[in-house]
Amino acid sequence: MPDSFDIVIAGGGMVGISLALQLGVALPPETSILLVEGFPIPEPAPGEAPVHHPAFDARSTALSYSTRLIYERMQLWDDLSQWLCAIESIHVSSRGRFGSTLLRASDHDWPALGYVVENSWLGNTLIRQLRQGGRVEVRSPAKVIGASPRGTGVSVELAGDVSPVSAELLLVADGANSNLRDCLGVAVSEKPYRQHALVANIAFAEPHRGCAYERFTDEGPLAVLPLLPARDGEHRGSLVWTLPPERAHHLCNCPEEEFLPTLQQRFGYRLGRLLRVGERHEYPLSLVQSSEQVRQGIVVMGNAAHALHPVAGQGFNLALRDVAELARVLAQGVAEGLPAGDLGLLQRYQHRQQKDQHRTIAFSDRVPALFMHADPLLGMGRDLALAGLDFMPGLKREFVRHAAGVSAAGERANG
């Protein structure tokens, strides 16, 4: 087994595997790639069952149009399509206030405003492609426990291995609590939102007709994303309910007989009577940003680089745009005869993604703050802003473009 690779990816979550697949497509076959994942990456049964892997848990992810374009280029989209529910409209409202707005894909001549996939099915598709492609060497379960600069590259330590693996480039994709980032001495800033996200699948009496609901309440935003119906035809959605920590903890553990009426009271009857709730999970929320993203031979990616508030569904979509841009820059580097870890090359990547990152992070950070403000005047402004989206089509279009991540993708295609 070789102990030297051009590229080593630490972390095989949604970002790490997408990165491995994208690099496999973008770089010449002689570029060697190793993916190291701490948990066992299972062999998925073809199309039959979702994978069980902690990074592909019970959550669902809203994929933006920019993600669709990237997965189409990677020839993953067709395979993924069978698990996707298209978002045809988004209903944004504020509990106890008059403002609400409906954003419709058809108003923008788009096929959809986004697509919802259960993470376990996204995992199934990504892992199948990784295993079948055979382009990337996978070590799992295996842990990266350290890294240090060596020559122009990096020496990567794997738990249990006597000698380190050497790499031209180490891609750090081991999540928001990245140990590797810490062991490299990369500082992080963390802004706790003092909120937890309660996540669960719910079943309701009426069909969702492809509508995603984003409802702002005095406790925090509550979203219900449309899911494909269950095998028995039951109407389903994915709930992301942002709450103060104690309340999230209580609602996560209380009996269904208490949970459903409480949710019904906060959400209303837009989807008819709530019938059932699946397994509930709780995630503490904070904005985590790494102070550096590139060094000679190192790039920090995904949640390790920036973990965002989930309210606007932007974290993974942004990370995937980072992945696509890094692959583009590394392919240019190969054409220019530069080593993958060349600092100038990696800075080129960072420069190109900076604007998209700043804008997306600011958007995700501002939305929950704006909609939770106790100031009644600001509350009124928020209502007017919601109502105003309907009166000002240009503003509404910009909001939708931003949520879909197409302004960034479009700018890049043009520039």
Ligand X SMILES: Cc1cc2nc3c(=O)[nH]c(=O)nc-3n(C[C@H](O)[C@H](O)[C@H](O)COP(=O)(O)OP(=O)(O)OC[C@H]3O[C@@H](n4cnc5c(N)ncnc54)[C@H](O)[C@@H]3O)c2cc1C
369: helix, strand or coil: helix
- The residues, ordered by sequence, that sit 6+ positions from 77 with a Cβ below 8 Å of its Cβ are 68, 71
Whole-number minimum distance, CB 379 to ligand X, in Å? 25
Q: Which stretch binds ligand X (CB under 6 A): 42-50, 52-60, 228-236, 352-360?
A: 52-60
Q: Does 11 bind ligand X (CB under 6 A)?
A: yes
Q: Does 179 bind ligand X (CB under 6 A)?
A: yes
Of 170, 295, 275, nearest to 230 (Cα)? 275
Pair of tokens at residue 379:
């509350």
- Return the residues of window 54-83 that contact ligand X according to CB under 6 A: 54-55, 59, 61-62
Q: Which is nearer to ligand X, 54 or 255 (CB)?
A: 54
From candidates 80, 105, 180, 406, binder to ligand X by CB under 6 A: 180
From candidates 39, 282, 359, 402, binder to ligand X by CB under 6 A: 39
Q: Does 313 bind ligand X (CB under 6 A)?
A: yes
Q: Which stretch binds ligand X (CB under 6 A): 10-18, 213-221, 323-331, 332-340?
A: 10-18
Pair of tokens at residue 294:
């590139």
Secondary structure E strands in 258-396: 274-277, 281-290, 294-295, 298-300, 306-307
Q: Does 36 bind ligand X (CB under 6 A)?
A: yes
Q: Does 94 bind ligand X (CB under 6 A)?
A: no
Residue 336's alpha-carbon distances to 182, 339, 345, in angstroms, are: 32, 9, 10
Beta carbons of 167 and 154 less than 8 angstroms apart: yes
Q: Of all residues in the chain, what percent are helix, strand and coil, respectively (each to 5)? A: 40, 30, 30
Q: Does 237 bind ligand X (CB under 6 A)?
A: no
Whole-number minimum distance, CB 310 to ligand X, in Å? 3
Of 340, 414, 348, nearest to 26 (Cα)? 340
Q: Which is nearer to ligand X, 327 or 338 (CB)?
A: 327
Beta carbons of 74 and 100 less than 8 angstroms apart: no
Name beta bridge partners: 294. 299
- Return the residues of window 96-155 that contact ligand X according to CB under 6 A: 143-144
Q: Does 13 bind ligand X (CB under 6 A)?
A: yes
Beta carbons of 352 and 325 less than 8 angstroms apart: yes
Q: Which is nearer to ligand X, 342 or 349 (CB)?
A: 349
Q: Which stretch binds ligand X (CB under 6 A): 4-12, 43-51, 100-108, 262-270?
A: 4-12
Pair of tokens at residue 156:
């990567």
Whole-number minimum distance, CB 300 to ligand X, in Å? 10
Using the structure block, give the residue that is written with the tokens 């990369």. 186
Kindly give the interhelix angle for 343-372 and 315-335, rounded to the nearest 10 degrees.
170
Following CA atoms 246, 219, 289, 158 in sequence, which dihedral angle do they give, to the nearest 10 degrees? Answer: 40
Q: Which is nearer to ligand X, 170 or 389 (CB)?
A: 170
d(C-alpha 289, C-alpha 251), whole Å? 29
Binding-residue total with ligand X (CB under 6 A): 36
Of 319, 314, 400, nearest to 363 (Cα)? 314
Q: Does 341 bind ligand X (CB under 6 A)?
A: no
- Return the residues of window 276-305 that contact ligand X according to CB under 6 A: 283, 302-303
Q: Does 15 bind ligand X (CB under 6 A)?
A: yes
Entry field: residues in the chain: 415
Q: Which stretch binds ligand X (CB under 6 A): 72-80, 168-176, 364-372, 376-384?
A: 168-176
Whole-number minimum distance, CB 336 to ligand X, in Å? 28
Q: Does 12 bind ligand X (CB under 6 A)?
A: yes
Q: Residues interacting with ligand X, by CB under 6 A? A: 10-16, 36-39, 54-55, 59, 61-62, 143-144, 173-175, 179-180, 197, 199, 240, 283, 302-303, 310, 313-317, 319
